[in-house]
A and B are shown apart, each in its own frame.
Chain A
Amino acid sequence: MQTPDTIVPVAPIEVAQRSEARPPTRRDVVFDVRGLTVRYGTTVAVKDVSLEIHRNVVTALIGPSGCGKSTFIRCLNRMNDLIPGARVEGEVLYNGQNLYGPGVDPVAVRRWIGMVFQKPNPFPKSIYDNVAWAPRVLGLKDVDARVERALQQAALWDEVKDRLKRSALALSGGQQQRLCIARALAVEPEAILLDEPASALDPIATSSIEDLIHELKREYTIVIVTHNMQQAARVADMTAFFSLDVKEDGSRSGILVEYDETQKIFTQPSDPRTEGYVTGRFG
């Protein structure tokens, strides 16, 4: 297992600095994706996507099924490395360094860029052990304090502080998902990637996750994939609309159609394809 020291180039920002409240600016780029194309075998899942993701901003990726938004978000912490046959072209610059450059350790990348998935997937361990696992593996100090801080940030502490040794599997779906977010926060990453984090949750649990996203963006850079357009409208500052480009020979590939401030996307989108999708008139 790598120690954090070996990946200093991809983690230039100290946690202490990050915690200071700074107004987000459009220029403060965390991810600079350039000409990203992802293939699974002969299928082009994402074609030539370029976009910048900004610090302390919630960026939503929306679009129909198969448009490549999940593939795209997985490129931001090299999760696609785990999929056989996946090939990535182009650059994903994270704080200026290409995540796909030579010598970059994908495990170290995921140390700084956490991910939460659609289905809550706690380990079959205690609540405490779920959150403490990664800090222990990384040899981080003050594990107890980290666990408490992460659970507080994930708005779960008050609900679980008296039963930290109980099984995480006994928690409700919404609590499990917040536990997974706490688990990602425990190693104090810089960015959090959320792939459909609320689609398996009821409206109340969804609302608590959305409240949490609003809180977390003060300290973290958040990218969220969602099928729920109103969720994107509610939580995101920036929204990227992905769609499917269908060629005459029937081949399909995911493309980025439009990327703008969320308010612009939902009041005055520039591209008719975005208009068609957000108004529900997409074919």
Chain B
Amino acid sequence: MRISFQEELDRTEAALQEEGEYVLRALRGSLNALAQRDSELADEVISFDDDIDRRYLEIEKGIEALLARQTPVASDLRLVLALLHANLHLERMGDYCVTIAKLIKLVADVEPEQGLVEAFTDMGARAEGMIRVALDSFATRDVGGASSLVDLDELIDRANRRVVEQVLPLASDPGRLEWGLRMITVSRCLERIGDHAVDIGEQTAYLVTGEFREFTDASHRA
């Protein structure tokens, strides 16, 4: 029953997973550009965001059509709403990758602080892992996997808090201080990517349970 509707839903969900793969490529590109001080790669990350945005808009239009023409209800409605939110979260992650790439270009001629670069490699790998968990648990409707994102996010948050301490010693060298200040923003971008992965996890939980809730909030950490 409703074969074409089911196909449209499947297509939209596949497009979301594809958008997720695009975001992973953008993130990997921005991390490599950072580690290798590669402005050319940073430019590629920036222009690649158009591809992510195109995917985002296609999904958005597809969902608009689904709502207008198919009037989804029950689990179909929850899937459509979850796709709508997850789509926006992925698009935002892509934007953070662009910000990282732009910051890298601004300080491309400054010698980086190796300790921090390693910290970012570690944070970036965690962020990639979180995106994968978010996409996989969405695809498999795995609420347990989705809620594990809270613990993973805590590790990125901790790393982010340590970055300022690592930047402070650079204050005596104005050239490297600018690099350090830019890197605080890079750190913040990676931390926000983790937050969006948690948000996708919350959409998975809504999709499965029908309950709107945040895994954590500002005053009550998990």
Residues of chain A having any CB pair with chain B under 8 Å: 229-230, 233, 266-269, 274-275, 278-283
Contacts and interface: CB of A to CB of B under 8 A. Distances in A.
Nearest to A269: B74
Given A267-B210, A268-B210, A279 B71 contact: no
Contacts of B74: 266-269, 274-275, 278-279
Nearest to A233: B73
Given A267-B210, A268-B78, A268-B210, A230 B1 contact: no
22 contacts: A230-B71, A233-B73, A266-B74, A267-B77, A267-B78, A267-B210, A268-B78, A269-B74, A274-B74, A278-B74, A279-B72, A279-B73, A279-B74, A279-B75, A279-B76, A280-B1, A280-B2, A280-B5, A281-B1, A281-B2, A282-B1, A283-B1
Given A267-B210, A268-B210, A275 B75 contact: yes
Closest A-B pairs by Cβ, 8 of them: A268-B210, A266-B73, A281-B1, A280-B2, A278-B73, A275-B74, A279-B76, A279-B74
Interface residues of B, number: 12
Contacts of A230: 71
Interface in B66-101: 71-78
Interface string B208-222: 001000000000000
A207 B180 CA distance: 64
Nearest to B76: A279
A281 B75 CA distance: 12
Nearest to B206: A268
A277 to B, nearest CB: 9
Nearest to B75: A275
Contacts of A278: 73-74
Contacts of B1: 280-283
A278 B71 CA distance: 10
A281 B1 CA distance: 5
A163 to B, nearest CB: 39
B2 A266 contact: no
A5 B76 CA distance: 52
B53 to A, nearest CB: 30
Given A230-B71, A279-B72, A266 B77 contact: yes
Given A267-B78, A274-B74, A281-B1, 11 more contacts: A229-B73, A233-B73, A267-B73, A267-B77, A268-B74, A275-B74, A279-B2, A279-B74, A279-B75, A280-B5, A283-B1
Nearest to A230: B71
A266 B75 CA distance: 9
B127 to A, nearest CB: 32
A229 B210 CA distance: 20
Contacts of B2: 279-281
Contacts of B210: 267-268
A235 to B, nearest CB: 15
Q: Which of A230, A267, A274, A275 is packed against the most chain B CB atoms within 10 Å? A: A267
A47 to B, nearest CB: 25
A154 to B, nearest CB: 29
Contacts of B73: 229, 233, 266-267, 278-279
Interface in B11-33: none
B81 to A, nearest CB: 9
Contacts of A267: 73-74, 77-78, 210
Contacts of A233: 73
A212 to B, nearest CB: 23
Nearest to A270: B210
A92 B72 CA distance: 35
Nearest to B77: A267
Contacts of B77: 266-267
A23 B207 CA distance: 33
A275 B79 CA distance: 13
A275 B75 CA distance: 8
Q: Which of A233, A280, A283 is packed against the most chain B CB atoms within 10 Å? A: A280
Contacts of A279: 2, 72-76
B114 to A, nearest CB: 52
